[in-house]
Structure 1
Amino acid sequence: MNSITDAGTATRRRVLGDMHVDRAEAAKTGFDAPFQALITDAAWGHVWSRDTISDRERSMLTIALLAGLGNDAELALHIRATANTGASRDDVLEALLHVAIYAGVPRANHAIAIAKKTFDEMEAA
């Protein structure tokens, strides 16, 4: 491994949790291994590992972008990750209010429903 891959792997584990990363690694095949390497290096090593903004801020940005683009499964994943990033429920709501204005009320409405369900699941666990 190289330093970017090492940093990406460590950051991915810190943000998403060992269980998620272990599951993704166990499910990896020869077909998607290049994709897993790409996201580990690019998303987690080059972007999330930067020290220019906090994990909390990065989490809020990611949630807003995923909600605005309608990436529901990834949105739920990153809402669960708020337990590790320091982003609060209020932070998530603020991000989704921005989605309503800049990406559309239907996207925000759907994302709020996902957030409520995900937070309820987190509380129940």
Structure 2
Amino acid sequence: MKVRRSVLGDAHVDRAEAAKADFDAPFQEMITEGAWGTLWADDTISKRERSMLTLALLAATGNFEEIPMHIRACANTGAAPQDVLQAFMHVAVYAGVPKANHAIKLAKETYKEMGVEL
């Protein structure tokens, strides 16, 4: 939970925990242990690099709904807007321009909400 909080922030994790029900508690435990307790806790690559990989994979697979959350997390992982743009440019070449274009649009909207000048 410590790594999850350090990346996503207390407010996000608190909302997710408050929304957890008996029905999805096993799923929430699995992603907390697997994604945050194992994968994100490993220091083989930096959290900055993990942020860029995560954003590129979300865009490449068309899972756009989590992109804003992970853009906001970049403030905690050290991935700068230009890093994110480079990740999405890779998506354009290897997974398609429409996916990258949509991800860039979401990134711009999220950075604007965050007050980040691009």
Letter of the structure 2 residue corresponding to residue 49 of structure 1: A
Structure 2 counterpart of 1:4: none
C-alpha separation in 2, matches of 1:19 and 1:39: 18
Which whole-Å deviations, capped at 9, do the CAs of 1:24-73 have from their partners, x for residues lacking one?
00010001101100000000011000010110000000000001111112
C-alpha separation in 2, matches of 1:117 and 1:25: 26
Any unmatched runs of 5+ in structure 1? 1-8
Structure 2 residue 24 is the aligned partner of structure 1 residue 16: no
Q: Give the counterpart of 1:26 among 18, 22, 37.
A: 18
TM-score by length of 1: 0.91
Structure 2 counterpart of 1:113: 105
Q: Give the counterpart of 1:80 among 52, 62, 72.
A: 72
Corresponding pairs, count: 116
Structure 2 counterpart of 1:48: 40
Aligned-residue CA RMSD in angstroms? 0.8
> Which consecutive segments of 4 or more residues in structure 1 shift more than 2 A?
none
